[in-house]
Amino acid sequence: MASIKADVIIAIKRCIENYFDTYNFSPSVREISSTTGISKSTVQRYLDAMECAGIVTRGELGLETLYISKTERDMVPVAKIGTIPCGPLDDREEYIDGYVKLPRSFVGNGTFFILTADGDSMVNAGIDDGDMVIIKKQDYAKKGDIVVALADGQSTLKRYFPEPENKRFRLHPENPEMEDIYVSNCLVQGVATKVIKTL
């Protein structure tokens, strides 16, 4: 163990963890060697020593550090689809501008997408301009849910109140300075489940 160097251990450990973050499984000895510039025989010798010391273990996904063993593995790719107006109905088209991997334990089961809030009509619901809103994709909602509502080809983020007795839908902004929107036709595209804020 006298020939074991701490900086080499740190380099190998960091390589394993960075690779896992990227690919969701651990690198081979050859990949560690290629990334760190350390010979394969030296990498193997260090891995054996690190395993004896409990720094790494061998799990179902290969080499694991404490960080990897505690990392949530059931990740869900969630599409980011531009902005959603938190104001009057808007006719901007959706576009996917990337994907974010989120733990299933955080988002739950189903199909999800992320919209960035644009405007301040939902501030009293805790949704501020620029917040990312996680939307569960579904075509139904309960009275009072916050939904992505499509009406007359335009969409908005509002609290949803069907009024069948009046043959209309009320889309309620959570801002006392703004008025309700009334529409005769309304398609629910998804229900807001969580908000991710930028500080």
Q: What is the mean pLDDT of the chain?
A: 87
Q: Residue 1: pLDDT above 50?
A: no
- Residues acting as catalytic residues: 121, 158
pLDDT digits (tens, 9 = 90+) for 10-35: 999 999 999 888 877 889 999 999 99
Judged by phi (left if over 0) then psi (alpha if -120 to 50, else beta), residue 135 lies in beta
pTM, entire model = 0.65
Q: Report the SS3 class of residue 113.
A: strand
Q: How many CB atoms lie within 10 A of CB 88?
A: 13
Domain with CATH 2.10.109.10 in the chain: 75-196
pLDDT digits (tens, 9 = 90+) for 33-44: 999 999 999 999
User: In angstroms, rounded to a whole number, what is the distance separating the alpha carbons of residues 26 and 21?
Assistant: 9
pLDDT of residue 199: 61
CATH class of 6-69: mainly alpha
DSSP-derived letter for residue 90 is B
Domain with CATH 1.10.10.10 in the chain: 6-69
In this prediction, residues 132-148 reach a mean pLDDT of 95
In CATH, 75-196 is 2.10.109.10: yes
